[in-house]
Structure 1
């Protein structure tokens, strides 16, 4: 019985090798094959640039249900191939977090309308306009990443919304990528899709919010109030609609949040969206910009604190965060030498300009 099982395993291994071997020999001259469990080791010499080997093999291996890596160990190249086990998606987690985020953002929205939820909890429904606006802004950003990643054949999860007791009721949303990045074109498209779509929705939400009258509210006892710093793009929209001032309807505030989130995401550092876009545009040269970004933010924070006598903590915090975040580097796409076309380069430059239009030295400060 044991011998029969071993024979079946050897037969399965031979069948596996026969299926993937033709793809491997196109880019890798094999001189020895070893097996350990479900993992197959191909020892040999790359026929093409080592940085492009896995780029050529990723698609055919993925179609056959396998993944792989190329390593150089003890003086020889080894191609390590193993089955890819599909992770079972737990969509109920996404749904539960989304429902919780609807609830927490509606609480914050109701507070913005001056509702005392302790005495009138059913008035939480008044926060619904803010909930719809903020989820549209944050959700469109992540769904754009999701759609573009799937378009390029990348494996990714649905968005996970993060309910959190902040002044907007959430820490945003994230998606999880599984597997490698095919090439710089995919890296660029996925990285830039979120900020562009999210900013477009933010602009629409802002225009809608500016057309609504800001509620006249009496601050709740012990509540913390903030004065917003309006970025140039927001001010442009105010002039377009014909309104001024920082007293905003909660829907317009959701648009402001979207612009601020876009700015932070487009910082060209680490694995932020801006880091992805710049890495796709410049290749490994982007690492220098990524390493400089925390220093730039730290200097901005110091200038705000000591030069403007304002609250620059947000920039100092992000500087420290990025020092740790960017230190991990950026994973290389499989086809890392594939350069972007001029159209994508132009879109990237314009997107970074839009990000600058969302910048303000002092985004918010508490009203004392």
Structure 2
């Protein structure tokens, strides 16, 4: 073996020690006949003992335990397994905290307006928006934290949630987490993808039940303000009937539940790298690309139907059709263990999840009224 020990900071890369640790795992799937190293990277020349496409998938988990990653290349008639240490960047959690606080404030302002607060003459009426803030942050936070916990469970690198403050009618554009590195398997892809919508929808149902049992505040619309007439999805109507709610005006907490259902619907659209795209890709493999290709066109047809046939505002569906076009065009990265199909239990959960998503659909989610 051609060795070059390489210093980095206070540590020292030891090629022999690294090989002795990783070699037992590597030889299970890769027959090595020569090893070279340069700096902190190892070059292992050999022959795959299994399908070459599965090598990195087989080695991902054991190498991760030691802080290493790998990639397989075919160069000049030889297979070369490149093994290298993965350098993990320290998370800047202060960014997450600042965005959380900012979103907490912007949603509380919107919640106060929904509760009829006059913030210009009574700034402390801001706290009337607290119930809406707690409700909407719980809905969005549970969705993203479910993704985070499941990603960690499968050994994936994921950031804490980033809440996005924005001057919309709910004070936020939602929340997201960032994934780093490959997805180890279709099982992991499914579990991470399905966890968010299910957790978020469960929280939305709880918030809706609480909100429908609260008396809606009397609100005097501000001058030149626009009110929204909400289209209620089947799941929301079912909960209304279940709790016996009859009022036409929603409490802000119940409205947060409506928002959660609408967000769940959008996330579960089976296209690109939306949650629905992840779930379908895990369930169907590469066949899911056909549905991902069709979905933007279906959304566009729905939008045009609402605009030209129903004479209503279908801009939301047209805009999402354009976004999905971009998401679908970007494709979906393949998991490392892409040939291992899902078990029947996960397939069933996936079908149920998409059905729940359909129960959150309404043809005209909202329209403005003067």
Which TM class, normalised by the smaller chain length? Answer: over 0.9
* Residue in 2 that maps onto 1:163: 165
Residues in 2 aligned to 1:194 and 1:218: alpha-carbon distance in whole angstroms = 36
Which residue number corresponds to residue 29 of structure 2? 27
Counterpart among 38, 41, 49 of residue 39 in structure 1:
41
Q: How big is the shift at 1:75?
A: 4.1
1:184: which partner in 2? Answer: 186
Query: Which shifted more, 308-317 or 148-157?
Result: 148-157
Alpha-carbon contact 1:260-1:359 (below 8 Å) kept: yes
Q: Distance in 2 between matches of 1:21 and 1:280?
A: 31
- 2:366 is equivalent to residue 364 of structure 1: yes
Q: What is the CA deviation profile of residues 128-147 of structure 1, one whole-angstrom value per residue up to 9, with x for unaligned ones? A: 00000001110011111111
Residue matched to 1:347: 349
CA distance in 2, matches of 1:274, 1:129: 30
Secondary structure of the 1:85 match is coil
Q: TM-score under structure 2 normalisation?
A: 0.94
1:58-113 Cα offsets, whole Å, 9 max, x none, are 11111111011223344433222111112112211111111111100000000101
Question: 1:286 corresponds to which residue?
Answer: 288
Q: State how far apart, in whole Å, the 2-side matches of 1:244 and 1:291 are.
A: 41
Q: Distance in 1 between matches of 2:312 and 2:45?
A: 61
Look up the match of 1:87: 89
- Please tell me whether the aligned partners of residues 227 and 246 of structure 1 are also in contact (alpha carbons under 8 angstroms): no
Q: Counterparts of 1:285 and 1:78 in 2: how far apart (Å)?
A: 30
Deviation at 1:345, TM superposition (A): 0.8
Provide the aligned length of Structure 1 versus Structure 2.
364
Structure 1 partner of 2:239: 237
- The CA distance in 2 between the partners of 1:344 and 1:250, in whole Å, is 35
Task: Name the counterpart of 1:123.
Answer: 125
* Cα displacement string for residues 169-201 of structure 1 (whole angstroms, at most 9, x for unaligned residues): 111111111221111111111110110111011
Tell me if 1:322 matches 2:324. Answer: yes
In the TM superposition, 1:295-306 aligns within 5 A as 295-306=297-308
User: C-alpha root-mean-square deviation of aligned residues, in Å?
Assistant: 1.7
Displacement of 1:31 after TM fit? 3.4
Superposition map of 1:178-217 within 5 A: 178-217=180-219
Q: Secondary structure at the match of 1:366?
A: strand
Which of residues 127, 136, 151 is equivalent to 1:149? 151
Separation in structure 1 between the aligned mates of residue 266 and residue 57 of structure 2, nearest angstrom: 31
Separation of aligned partners in 2, 1:328 and 1:71: 24
Contact 1:198 1:258 in 2 (8 A): yes
* Residue 299 to residue 75, structure 1, CA distance change in 2 (3 Å): farther
By how many angstroms is 1:33 displaced?
3.2
The structure 2 residue matched to 1:110, chosen from 109, 112, 125, is: 112
More helix by share: 1
Tell me the alpha carbon deviations over residues 258-313 of structure 1, each in whole angstroms, 9 at most, x when there is no partner.
Answer: 00000001011111111111111111111111111111101111111111111111
Give distance in 1, aligned partners of 2:42 and 2:321.
44
SS of equivalent to 1:26: coil
- Decide whether the 8 Å contact of 1:116 with 1:220 is kept in 2: no
Is the contact between residue 142 and residue 203 of structure 2 (CA under 8 Å) also seen in structure 1?
Answer: yes
Alpha-carbon shift at residue 6 of structure 1 (Å): 6.0
Following superposition, the deviation at residue 7 of structure 1 comes to 5.7
Q: Please tell me whether the aligned partners of residues 114 and 220 of structure 1 are also in contact (alpha carbons under 8 angstroms).
A: no
Q: Alpha carbons of 1:74 and 1:215: their partners in 2 closer, same or farther (altered >3 Å)?
A: farther
1:255 correspondence with 2:262 = no
Structure-2 separation of matches of 1:33 and 1:345: 43
Contact 2:182 2:336 in 1 (8 A): yes
Contact preservation (8 Å) 1:41, 1:81: yes
User: Is the 1:109–1:130 contact (alpha carbons within 8 Å) kept by the matching residues of 2?
Assistant: yes
Gapped runs of 5+ residues in structure 2?
none
8 Å contact kept, 2:4–2:38 = no
